[in-house]
Chains A and B, each alone.
Chain A
Amino acid sequence: MIGYVVRRLLLAVPTLLGVTVVAFLTVHWMPGDPAEIIAGEHASPEVVEQIRKDLRLDRPLPEQYALYLGDLARGELGRSAKSHEPVVDEIRRYFPATVELATASLLLATLLGLLAGAAAAQRPGGWIDATSTILASLGVSMPVFWLGLMLMYALAVRFPVFPVSGRLPVTMDVPVVTGFVVADALLARDGGAVRDALRHLTLPAVVLATVPMAVIARITRSSLVEAMEQDYIRTARAKGVPESLVLLRHAARNGLLPTVTVIGLQFGFLLGGAIITETIFAWPGVGRWILLAVQSRDAPVLQGGILLMAVSFTLVNLATDVAYAALDPRIKLR
């Protein structure tokens, strides 16, 4: 198993190198002179020239790239052209918010998606199956924007069960340790803050969970249905194993493999930040951060953002593959 993990890790290296090339070239692909973009619109020619030197843009591309890799190795991502803050600090500020939201919505999506999928698979064509199919198609096709505002109006304004937006009441101070508000509130042993943080998290997590939940439900259903048609299931039934056990013990182990892949993929997507959900819920995550960087042509932030998205996607994929191997011993041998 360890050998497999190491092999997979080594395989991820070329992928990550490719990503650094893309992130590096972003600055060069953007319209306009990178030095001028970073210097800001009002900078004098001298300042622009200085920045060109500072950023080594006057050197040949391969050399620049090598130096960029060196910076990355030291954890240097440059400074935002807009806020003048180190990009690393900004990632530290915005990424935890995204991870928190992504994790919460994926947990929700997985739990409900698996339940709905398994229930539907028990009797393909039955009314549970039909209902879950309809709900899943609704979930996939519902505009996030509309759903978000409707839920917000219903559950935060009309019947104020949840707060409207944000991560915590602005007047509440929780010492930042991890950047994850729920975790920080737990660390501070502040029960009120934990409750508030969870309440703030609920609506955006539900909204963000709709699509992955629908996808997970559909995949679970179809792979379970397929698994249920296998010979070993017939054998199990012939032995007199109760139907629920057949489903959970025999079908699930093999049938859920595609679901694991889908969950991993969805998590990877969610980590890139959900721009619409973050905007509606005034959630200060990387989606909004990258969007603002695109709008203000903030090259260093864009570079950092692309890298962040790609690295988290790669790592999640790696984790998925490892989980896969744990579930299906044949994988390791391939």
Chain B
Amino acid sequence: MVRFLFGVLATSLALLAASDARAQMQPVNGGTLLYGRGMDAVGLDPSHESDGESFKVCDNIYECLVRFADDGTSVEPQLATDWSVSADGLVWTFDLRDDVRFHCGDPVDAAAVAYSLERQWGAREPRHPDYGVGGPYPFWGYLGMDDVLAAVEVLDPGTVRFRLKQPSAPFLSNLACNFAAIVCPRDAQERGQEFFRNPCGTGPFRFVKWERAESITIERNPDYWGFHAYLDRVVFRSVPENSTRFFELLSGSIHMMDGIPPDDVAAIEKNRALKLLGAPGMNVAYLAMNLDHEPFGNPLVRRAVCHAVDKAAIAEGLYAGLADIARGPVPPNVFGAHPNPSDYDYDQDLARELLTQAGYPEGFETTLWTMAGPRPYMPQPLRLAQVIQADLAAVGIHAQIISFEWGTYLDRVHRGHHDLALLGWQADNGDPDNFLFVHFDKSAAVPPAGNIAFYRDERVHELLVRGQQTPDPEARLPVYLEAQELIHRDAPWVPLVHTMELAAMRKEVTGYLLHPTGRVLLSRVFLAR
């Protein structure tokens, strides 16, 4: 009898598995996927934007010369079929596909590639021709591309050549990032100030409409050169309230959502109509101290702040344990992360002692900035700010919380208006340079700054530049380890947590893969019957 029952059970499980596998194997064409998220995009010109909400849409509309593999950050051909690099690492030559057209019908050629990158040149110069168009090109600036790229040459319509000022280890990975997306030159020029609302790229989906504050609709690109998307349409809906968004998912009026409050994870897991995907993310959430604002110029004060914040309580209480405590800025799954990072232990007495040594026995008053809405690495920014505010108050640092809507928040923080600011970083290319240069190099401490601690250290700068110019991974590693040790010593940040990538969806949503860089790629997603 027992054996019989076991047999039945085994058979039914096998059937379940088989039907599941069949569902996996027989994709369904058509349908509209409704994707719920907390905020609207800021803009849809991939080189202009620096926030994930804009990228989620751009990732499906635009493409780059190269792309990341589905499961990681190794680089694969996309609009380029092949490339070669000179022995000195200074000349990169790319052969382009000859069968690609923009959504408007114009062919993609080397001139379009050159335009897409050249338009961003000199992004920090106030007289940049596109300066008035929603600001400069922040990513180009963060990655210091002005100092990397010397020239873009169009050899023939199918070949483009980049001349570098110095060898750059992450150059190829950087070309797979959003800012290097190839945009339609005619549309970008003709539309000018309106281009960021009327995107034209080469991706598997093309833009349909944008109802501000409500939704953005994209549809399958029928003339796509590569794998045709299963879905007819995707609608990105902005549903600002977390609970409402979750209710939308429960009721089936959206198919998937992000920005999942950790408190809802258990409810999602219990619900049979839903599934939860999770994977370690390549991200970091941090508290930056503005070294240009006193008293944070004083390393003793910064260390005191590091000791005052109870990271374990934050990971447990605000992330429901779906996050690892960050001991440094580079997540453990990124090449170059320090294998044995030292950390500042949670110790209020030590924090008070350090403050006394620094000349603040009574503590001081300051401001703590946070964004108004959730981010993937920070699902509850206001509550997080309140927790840190309480931690700091316990050692005598009285911080007033200041909060802005996302676009404004980024703008102001990048200009260094804050004393303390909460922010996070989602990897673009899985390179340590992408975590360290952007946040800790002195050249990134110029507004609009990625280095919002405004930390400037000559030795760190030297190391980070050497890291960029050393293509050999074995030689790079010690360079990055030393840089991380120095950054730890100087404590411009309190690294808080590395969060899991989470996405909740209805059971019928099939084929969605969480990418370690947090990209939302939807061309292989379908709605199973």
Q: Chain A residues in contact with chain B, CB under 8 A?
A: 40-47, 82-85, 90, 93-94, 149, 152-153, 156-157, 160, 163-166, 169-171, 279-282, 284, 288-289, 292, 295-297
Q: Does B438 have its Cβ within 8 Å of any Cβ on chain A?
A: no
Chain B residues, CB < 8 A from A43: 131-132
CB contact under 8 A between A164 and B411, given known A42-B131, A282-B241: no
- Give the shortest distance, in Å, between B398 (CB) and chain A (any CB): 21
Q: How far is the CB of B412 from chain A (nearest CB, A)?
A: 7
Interface with A: B69-77, B231-239, B317-325, B353-361, which one?
B231-239
Beyond known contacts A170-B217, A279-B241, A280-B243: 6 more, CB 8 A cutoff: A84-B134, A149-B243, A149-B244, A164-B248, A282-B240, A284-B214
> Using Cβ atoms and an 8 Å threshold, which residues of chain A touch B213?
94, 284, 288-289, 292
From B106-114, B402-410, B426-434, the one touching the partner chain is B402-410
> Nearest-CB distance from B39 to chain A (Å)?
10
Q: Once bound together, how far apart are the Cα atoms of A156 and B245, in whole Å?
A: 12
Select from chain A the residue with minimum beta-carbon distance to B248.
A164
B247 touches A153 (CB 8 A): yes
Beta-carbon nearest neighbor of B407 in chain A: A296
Instruction: Answer whether residue B126 sits at the interface, using C-beta atoms and an 8 A cutoff.
Output: yes
For B404, the closest partner residue in chain A by CB is: A295
Q: Is B100 an interface residue (CB 8 A)?
A: no
- For A157, list chain B residues within 8 Å (CB): 247, 250-251
- Is B253 interfacial (CB 8 A cutoff)? yes
Q: Which residue of A lies closest to B412 (CB)?
A: A41
Cβ-defined contact, A41 with B415, below 8 A: yes
B136 within 8 Å of A (CB atoms): yes
Do A42 and B244 touch (CB < 8 A)?
no
Are A165 and B239 interface neighbours, CB within 8 A?
A: yes
Establish whether residues A282 and B412, one from each chain, have CB atoms under 8 Å apart when the complex forms. no
- Indicate if the CB atoms of B32 and A171 lie closer than 8 Å: yes
Name the residue in B32, B404, B408, B411 with the highest tally of chain A Cβ atoms < 10 Å from its Cβ: B408
Say yes or no: A44 contacts B126, CB within 8 Å. yes
Select from chain B the residue with minimum beta-carbon distance to A167: B214
What is the CA–CA distance of A295 and B213 in the complex, to the nearest angstrom? 14
Check if B34 is an interface residue, CB within 8 A of chain A: yes
What is the CA–CA distance of A44 and B448 in the complex, to the nearest angstrom? 12
Determine the chain A residues whose CB is within 8 A of the CB of B127 once the complex forms.
Answer: 44, 46
Contact present for B407 and A45 (CB under 8 Å): no
Q: In the complex, A52 Cα to B213 Cα: how many Å?
A: 29
Which B311-368 residues have C-beta < 8 A from chain A? none
- Neighbour of A170 across the interface among B134, B237, B243, B414, CB < 8 A: B237
Name which residue of chain B comes closest to A42, CB basis: B135
Residues of B within 8 Å of A149, CB to CB, are 243-244, 247
A171-B235 contact, Cβ under 8 Å, with A43-B132, A93-B212: yes
For the complex, give the distance between the alpha carbons of A239 and B135 in Å.
79
For the residues of A in contact with B, the DSSP-based class is loop
- Count of B interface residues, CB-CB < 8 Å: 42
C-alpha gap A153/B251 in the complex (Å): 9
User: 6 smallest A-B Cβ distances: which pairs?
Assistant: A44-B126, A295-B405, A42-B135, A296-B408, A41-B411, A282-B239
Within 8 Å of chain A (Cβ to Cβ): is B384? Answer: no
Q: Which residue of A lies closest to B32 (CB)?
A: A171
Instruction: Classify the interface of chain B: helix, strand, loop or mixed.
Output: mixed
Q: Is the CB of A292 within 8 A of B405?
A: yes
Complex Cα gap A116–B193 (Å): 55
**Distance in angstroms between the alpha carbons of A171 and B237 in the assembled complex:** 11
Contact with A along B207-231 (1 / 0, CB 8 A): 0000111110100000000000000
Interchain Cβ contacts under 8 Å between A and B, 25 examples: A40-B134, A40-B135, A40-B411, A41-B411, A42-B411, A44-B127, A149-B243, A157-B251, A163-B251, A165-B244, A165-B247, A166-B237, A166-B239, A170-B237, A171-B32, A171-B235, A280-B241, A280-B243, A280-B244, A281-B244, A282-B237, A282-B239, A284-B211, A289-B213, A295-B404
Contact A163 B448 (CB under 8 A): no
A181 CB to nearest chain B CB (Å)? 12
- 8 A Cβ contacts from B394-427 to A: 403-405, 407-408, 411-412, 414-415
Min CB–CB distance B69 → chain A (angstroms): 32
Residues of B within 8 A of A152 (CB): 243-244, 247
B372 at the interface (CB under 8 A from A): yes
- Select from chain B the residue with minimum beta-carbon distance to A281: B244
Cβ of A166 and Cβ of B135 under 8 Å apart?
Answer: no
Contacts of A42 in B (CB 8 A): 131, 135-136, 411, 447-448
CB <8 Å contact, A296 and B126: no
Q: Which of A47, A170, A281 is the one whose CB lies under 8 Å from B215?
A: A170
| Residue among B215, B251, B407 making CB contact with A82, cutoff 8 Å | B407
- Given A284-B214, A295-B408, the answer on whether A156 and B135 have CB atoms closer than 8 Å is no
Q: Are B237 and A160 in contact (CB under 8 A)?
A: no
Pair B253/A164 contact, Cβ less than 8 Å = yes
Q: Which B residues touch A85, using CB under 8 A?
A: 212
Q: How far is the CA of A42 from the CA of B239 in the complex (A)?
A: 29
Contacts of B233 on A, CB cut-off 8 Å? Answer: 171
Q: For the complex, give the distance between the alpha carbons of A288 and B136 in Å.
A: 28
| Chain A residues positioned under 8 Å from B411 (CB to CB) | 40-42
Complex CA gap A297/B402 in Å reads: 14
Pair A170/B34 contact, Cβ less than 8 Å: yes
Cβ contact within 8 Å between B251 and A44: no
CB distance from B371 to the nearest CB of A (A): 10
- Chain B, residues 129-158, CB within 8 Å of chain A (1/0): the string is 001101110000000000000000000000
The residue in chain A whose Cβ has the minimal distance to the Cβ of B371 is A295
B134 — which chain A residues lie within 8 A by C-beta?
A: 40, 84
How far is B213's CA from A94's CA once the two chains are assembled, in angstroms? 10
State the CA gap A42–B405 with chains docked (Å).
17
Most interface-central of B250, B251, B412, B448 (chain A CB within 10 A): B251
Chain B hits for A166, CB < 8 A: 214, 237, 239
Docked complex Cα distance between A46 and B127 (Å) = 9
Q: In the complex, A42→B135 CA distance in Å?
A: 5
State how many angstroms separate the Cβ of B283 from the closest Cβ of chain A.
24
Closest residue of chain B to A171 (Cβ to Cβ) is B32
Give A81's nearest chain B residue, CB to CB: B408
What distance in Å separates the Cβ of A192 from its nearest Cβ neighbour in chain B?
A: 16
Which residues of B, 22-46, contact A by the 8 Å Cβ criterion?
32, 34
- A292 and chain B: residue at smallest CB distance: B405
Distance in angstroms from B503 CB to nearest chain A CB is 19
Complex alpha-carbon distance, A159 and B415, angstroms: 49
Q: Are A46 and B126 in contact (CB under 8 A)?
A: yes
Tell me, in angstroms, the Cα distance from A68 to B73 when the chains sit together: 54
Q: Could you tell me the distance in whole angstroms from the C-beta of A165 to the nearest C-beta in chain B?
A: 5
A45 and B126 contacting across the interface, CB-CB below 8 Å: yes
B372 surroundings in chain A (CB, below 8 A): 295
Q: Taking the nearest CB of chain B, how far is it from the CB of A55, in angstroms?
A: 15
- Cβ–Cβ < 8 Å partners of A83 in chain B: 212
Question: In the complex, A297 Cα to B238 Cα: how many Å?
Answer: 21
A282 & B251 in contact (Cβ 8 Å cutoff): no
- Among the interface residues A40, A82, A164, A292, which one has the most CB atoms of the partner chain B within 10 A? A164
Q: What are the residues of chain A within 8 A of B247 when measuring CB–CB?
A: 149, 152-153, 156-157, 164-165
- Residue among A149, A153, A292 facing the most chain B CB atoms (10 A cut-off): A292
Chain B neighbourhood of A40, CB < 8 A? 134-135, 411
CB distance from A80 to the nearest CB of B (A): 10
For A281, what are the chain B residues with a Cβ–Cβ distance below 8 Å?
Answer: 244
> How far apart are A141's CB and chain B's nearest CB, in angstroms?
21
